[in-house]
Each structure stands twice: as structure tokens, then as C-alpha cells.
Amino acid sequence: CHFKHRKQRFVDIGDSLLTLKLTHALSSSVQNFPSDAIKILNRLEELDLSNNRLRNVPDNSFHFLRSLKKVHLQDNTIEMIHRGTFQGDIHRDLTEVYFSFNSVRNVQQHTFADLIQLEQIHLDDNRIESLERRAFMNLKSLKRLNLKGNKIATIAYETFQNLPELEDLDLAYNSISSLDFNIFDQVGSLGMFHVNMSHNKLINLVVAPSVPFEQDTGLGGLQNIKVLDLSFNNITSVAKQFFRPVELSLMQLYLGHNKLLNATKDLFGNMPHLQVLDLSHNSLYELDFDTFRNTKKLQWLDTSHNRISEIPNDLFRFLGNLRIVDFSHNRLRSLPDNLFRETGLERLDVSHNLLGKLPLTSLSLASAQTLSELDLSWNSISSLSHGGQLARFKCLSWLDLSYNRLGQIDAGTFKGIPRLASLNLGHNSQLTLEINGLSFQGLEYTLLHLNLDNVSLSQVPALSTPNLLSLSLAFNSLPTVALEVAGNISSLRYLNLDYNDLSAVPIVTHSLTELRHLSLEGNPITTLSNTSLLGAANQLEELNLKNIDLTVLESGAFCKMQPLRTLKIGVYRNIKNFNIPSILQFNDGLKNLEIHVTKDTDTLDNEMRGAWPLKLQNLTLSGKGLKKITGKMFQGVRSPTFHLTVRNTSIIKIPFDVFRNMLPVRNVSVDVRDNILLKNLQNPSTGSKPGKPRSAFLTDLKLMGGKWSCDCDLGWVEVWERKRRQYLCPVLLRVSILRNIIVGTLMMVLGTGCVRIKITGVWLKFLRVILSVVGVKLRWRN
């Protein structure tokens, strides 16, 4: 669109048009905002000119658009927003303004002022270096201000003036080197206020001198910062009274991924409403005994990934609301007696420390009775002798003792824990279990998940656990699994037998009628016949056969497995004319396939030639043996939605032919993380936009861990990002600080390395805590 005869362009609809969208519609030669053509649209409420090449927006561009509510100008090359572009007496209905992904360098005084209905301003991912005083002024309805991803180094006093309803202020990913709470003195006084200053350049947090107002309009906004995120900076020191202006209002404080050395009462001891404190990934050596003296509403404390070697006995005295404590990845050799005195504690994580014995005496009777989850993995615990103290844990449902030095589990050790549902004893290589099953006496009807990986088993112990759902026996020396085992684990759905001495698929799988997931990776199995999996064929949904050196694979081995949804296999060189599509021709329901290559292989053209199952939409190629992939490998793809993962291979380049040969594919996503040699990825999109006939569009991309260089071969990523934002990222779904807090917290809680994530009642309760701070109610069904 060149906007010739601009004044006549919209004459016929000037009094009726409410919404105008010209996304990616203007010629690249159009650099000036087309105000002459648009000004006659006097009833226009929403204007979208995003994803063009607009550079100049004159200050009178919107003066004739008195009904305007939303302006979308993101993804242009706009260099300046002139003062007076938006005026309070003209734009009384304006609610949202988007200038994201432009080239704005500063925000002048009164750029956004006196706009009584304005609720959102988005200036993220520009080149803003400075914010002038009163740049944002008298915006009585403003709820969100997004300044993330700029080059802001300092913020002038009174930059934010009279913003009483501001809820989210996002200043993450800037170059801010100092924080003065005075800049928030007229902000957020009537509602919730979240400040995100993560990923900046903060080093020393010092107390700033008080600055008087020029106008007496302050409403005490300092007491209304509820959530403050200062994570991912370089903070090494915090002045004693630094948090004094906000200590009466803070409910969540995030200081993770910094360089703090200690925690004292002067910093955290006088925050009466603080519920969440994250001090993880710092350099903390100690916590003072009175660190939380008057912070009595604390519910969640994370001090993981520090250097703490000792915990004061009185650290948690009178903290009756404490629910979750994470001491993992420290240097603790013990925990003091009666560290937890109050009732209510639900989860304790002391994993990855130096504990030599069970810290049972650290919990009083009251706290032990409410504890639901206890993680003691990766320590040096050698004995489970407890003198009956485990019987105090009436609510304990999840216990992890993996990666310790346990030698023996006596009969009835867990008998006094009536609700234990998940038990992990894996990787205690010297562990001796009672073969008659007495080690698990008392857990017969409560145990649902049991991990016995790498505990030197030569036979499966007797398990009288009819409700058991998952059993992991990997990295042992099992030559077989006795058939009679099935009778006492009749509800089993997940069985992991990786890296044992199995020479054939255990016949016991034929008797496990509820089995859905079976893993046999790394066993010396050489033959897979038509009857090997016959017993489980009617219900098995996931099967892992990686790192198995098959010499015989009969053509009907998988043909009866109609419910199969996920399959992980290798490339079996000893099988003549091995072809994956042919052995999967009857598996119409297969959705996920991983092909693992261990031995050096140039390509898999022959092994992957043919038509793939119609529903196959996730393909993973892994293994150092894979050195090259070609377009021929993907000619058999038939699903319109396809996700390709290439992980931990020796591939150097992924050519365009790979994606051009996926003819039926319309939406493709790519994950090429952790390929140390990969340095070239051609554009997976074969079409210029989604929905274009006979072409595919890239919907998601993950890059990490290769030999990437920002050259022309990778330049397509920037163009694709613009298109992705234009076509796939509705403005209403853009990430807010609220979502960052919730998702970030859940990622910390759940972890990212778990194969099977289980959201327990503890985490649901904790999520309620987080959401309650931001005024959101959470409901779920059991």
C-alpha cells in the first residue's frame, strides 16, 4: 500500500470505521505515519500499523482521532515519540499504547500525561537510554508500564508522577546500576504494585537521600510495593536500611542469582508481611540467628545454591506460617535440634549437602506432623536407624533418599509413616534390601512410586504393593524379572528396567495388564520377535528401546501395539535392510518418535525412507553418532503439524532441504539445543506467513549450546521473530510481570530436570500463596 490519493482513501467509511488493521501492509518506502489518510476516521477506536517500516510519527498524527482506544505501532523503526502526540483533552478514551520493538531512544517530559483512561503502555525492546522527569504523569488508570529490554541506565526522580493504580512496572533487561525507592514515591498508592528490575547491573544497594516533592501530590506509594524482583543482577552488598521504605508492604522479594554474602536482621528482619523470599544462587556463607525476627508471615524461603555451612538454632523461632524451606546445594553437615518448632511446615529440601545422618531431631513433634515432602538426596547418610522418630511424620507422602551411602534398610523401617506414597532409594550402590519385602513393611497399600535404581539388585525384592503405579529398577544387575512379581504389583503403569542384564523382554510384562510405560534401554537384548511384546501390546503407550544392539527384529514386532504413542529406538546396524517406517506401518496412533544413534553414521536416508505414521508429529534425533541429516530423511512426514528436535548430536549443518521436503507440514517447530558442533541452521519456513498454501511456517525455535555466529546464515532469525510476533503473538498474550512471577516460581518449585513432574498438594497450596498476593483466586478439581 502506497497511500496514493490519501485524502480520498477512507472518505466513504470515515464516519463508520471502528477498527483499522494495516499490519505488514505498507510499502517499505512509507516511513512517515499516514496521518492525512487516517485523520478523517473520526470514529476509529483501534488502529494497528504494526510490523511496517514507519520511522516518523508527527506530534499531530492522532489529534483528529478523538475516539481512539488502542494504538498498535510495535515492530516499526520509530525513533521518537513526540511530546503532545497523545493529549488528555483529545484522547479521553485511550486505554492501550504499543510501541514495542522500535528504535525509541528517550522518553521526553509529558510524553504520556493526563490520559485519564490509559491502562497500558508498552515500550519494551527499544533503545531507550533515558527517561526524563515527568515522562509519565497524571495517568490515574495506568495499570501496566513495560520498559523491559532497553538501555536505561538511570531513572530521573519524578519520572513516574501520580500513577496511583499502577500494578506492573517492568524494568528488566536494562542497564540500571542503582535503585532509589524515591522514584516510586507517587506510584501504585491505590492498588497492588509489582516492580521487576531483574537482569540489570545493580551491584551495591545503598540508601538514597530523601528528595522533597516539588508538588505535594505524593500519596505514600512507598508502602505499596508488594512484589520486588531484583534477581539476576550482580548485587554484592545491601545497606542496612535499604529496604526500610518498602519493608511494611513487601510480600514477595526475589534476590536470586546475585552475589550476596550474608543475610541479617537489618535486611530481612522487619518485613511483617513478607511471604516469599528467594535468596538462591548467591554466595551466602551464613544466616544470622535473628534474620527473620519480625518477619513472621514468611511462608516460603529459598536459600539453595549458596555456601551455607551452618544454620542457627533460632533462625525460625516464632515463624508459625512457614510452609516451604529449601536449603539444597549448600555445605550443611547437620541441622540443629528443634530448628523447626512451629506447626505447618510442608516441604523441606536439604538435598545436595554433606549430611551424615537423618536430621529427624531438627523437627519438633508439631512440625514433623505436618511435613508432606522431605528431600534428603545427594548427601552422605549411611543409616536409616531412627529409634522410632519416623513415626512422628504422620503426613509425609514424598521422601527422597537417593544418592546417599545407605547400607541396609531393616524390616519395618518405614512402618510408622502411614501416608508415604513416593519413596526414592536410588543410587545407594551398597544398599541391602530384605528379599522377603520386609524393608517396605507398612507401605503395602500407600506406596504409589518406588525408585530402586542402582542399588545392586540381582533379583527383584518381593513387593506386596498392589497400588504401586511406578517402579524404577534401572542400573542394576537383573538377568530377569520373575513372573510371580506381577501378582503383587497388579496396578503398575510405569516400569523402568534400563541398563540391567536382561537378554529378552521379561515375560512379566505380559501379566501387567495396567502397564502403560516400559523402558528397556541399555540391556543386552538381541532379539525382538513378534511375540516379545505381545502381552503388553494392547495397552502399552510408551516404549524405550534405545541403546540396544538388536540382531533380530521380526517385521510384526510392533504391529499389534495400536495404543502406542511414544517410541524410542536405535539404529540397528546388524539388521539387514532396517527401515523404520516399514516396522511402524501399523502404528497409526504413534505421535512421538526418538531415533538414537550411537555409532558413527553419515545419514539415515535408507533407514527413514518411506511413509511415516499419519499422526507422527514429534521426531527427535539424538546421539553423537549422527553426523548429517538430509532432506530425504523427512519425505515421509505426513502430519500437518511437526516438531523436530535434534539433541546431543555431531551435526554441523541443518540444510533447507530438510524442511522443503516436509510437503504436508504447515506448522513446524524446531529445537536444536545442545549440539556442540552445530553452527548452521537454514530457515525452516518455506512460506512467508502462516496458512499459506503448500508451505510451512516456523512456529517456535530453540537454540542453545552450538557454535553459532551472528552472520548472514543466521540473519533470518530476526525477520522470523518479527513475523512470529505479528502472526502468532496476540498483544493480549504478551508476557506480563505477573505471568513471569508465577511461571518463574513454578519453574523453581517444580524444577526443569525432572522426567516426570508431579504437582503435589504442597505446590498447589504454595501457588495459592503467590496468586493471593496478586489478587487471583485459584480453583482446581481433584
- DSSP letter string, 447-487: --EEE-TTS--SSPPP---TT--EEE--SS--S---GGGGG
**Phi-psi region for residue 577, left (φ > 0), alpha (ψ -120 to 50) or beta?**
left
pLDDT attached to residue 385:
79
Percent of the chain with pLDDT over 70: 89
Q: What is the distance between the alpha carbons of residues 192 and 447, in angstroms, rounded to a whole number?
A: 43
CB atoms within 10 A of CB 307: 13
The predicted structure's pLDDT at residue 6: 52
Distance between terminal CA atoms of the chain?
A: 55
The grid cell for 630 is 538430509
Tens-digit pLDDT profile for residues 76-106: 999 999 999 999 999 999 999 999 999 999 9
User: Which residue range is the domain that position 758 belongs to?
Assistant: 737-773
Last residue of a domain, one of 57, 75, 97: 97
Residue 322 within a domain: no
Any domain includes 296:
no
Global pTM?
A: 0.89
CB-count exposure of residue 779 (10 Å: 0-12, 13-18, 19+): exposed
In a domain, 549, yes or no: no
Residue 135: CB atoms within 10 A of its CB come to: 25
pLDDT at 782: 37
* Buried-state track 584-596, b at ≥16 Cβ within 10 A, e below 16: beebeebbbbbbb
Q: Are residues 715 and 603 in the same domain?
A: yes
> Measuring CA to CA, which residue among 523, 489, 484, 486 is closest to residue 505?
523
266 SS3 class: helix
Which of 143-152, 181-190, 697-706 is the least confident region?
181-190
**One domain, residues 743 and 721:** no
Boundary residue ending a domain (97, 118, 147):
97
> Is 4 contained in some domain?
yes
583: enclosing H helix or E strand: helix 580-583
Domain co-membership, 721 together with 742: no
Within a domain: 58? yes
Do 610 and 688 share a domain, yes or no?
A: yes
Rounded CA-CA distance 219/516 in Å is 61
Residue-averaged pLDDT of the chain: 89
pLDDT of residue 770: 52
Please check whether residue 68 lies inside any domain of the structure.
Answer: yes
As a whole number of angstroms, the longest Cα–Cα distance in the chain is 91
Which letter does DSSP use for residue 314 in this model?
T
Q: Is 378 a domain residue? A: no
The number of domains in the chain is 3
Q: Are residues 658 and 695 in the same domain?
A: yes
Are 621 and 748 in the same domain?
no
Do 742 and 724 belong to one domain? no
pLDDT single digits (tens) 484-530? 999 899 999 999 999 999 999 999 999 999 999 999 999 999 999 99
Instruction: Give 124-136 pLDDT, tens digit per residue.
Output: 999 999 999 999 9
Residues in contact with 341: Cβ distance below 8 Å, sequence separation at least 6, in sequence order: 316, 317, 364, 366, 367
On whether the CB atoms of residues 519 and 545 are closer than 8 A, the answer is no
Closest CA to 300 of 348, 232, 334, 355: 348
Q: Which residues contact 661 (CB under 8 A, 6 or more apart)?
A: 631, 632, 634, 635
Indicate whether 684 and 745 sit together in one domain. Answer: no
Between residues 145 and 156, the one the model is more confident about: 145
For residues 725 and 744, membership in a common domain is answered with: no
* Greater model confidence, 156 or 543: 543
Q: What is each CA distance from 775 to 142, 166, 226, 618, in whole angstroms?
A: 17, 14, 11, 38
In this structure, the answer to whether residues 721 and 757 fall within a common structural domain is no
Q: State which of 32, 67, 97 marks the end of a domain.
A: 97
What's the average model confidence in pLDDT over 466-492?
95
Burial class for 64, CB neighbours closer than 10 Å (0-12, 13-18, 19+): middle
pLDDT at 732 over 70: no
Residue 719 lies in a domain: yes
Checking if the pLDDT of 597 tops 90, the result is yes
Looking at the fold, whether 712 and 765 belong to one and the same domain comes out as: no
399-404: average pLDDT: 98
Residue 739 has pLDDT above 70, yes or no: no
Share of the chain above pLDDT 90, in %: 74
At residue 186, the pLDDT reads 84
What CATH number should be reported for the domain holding residue 78?
A: 3.80.10.10
- pLDDT of 763 > 70? The answer is no
53 and 6 inside one domain: yes
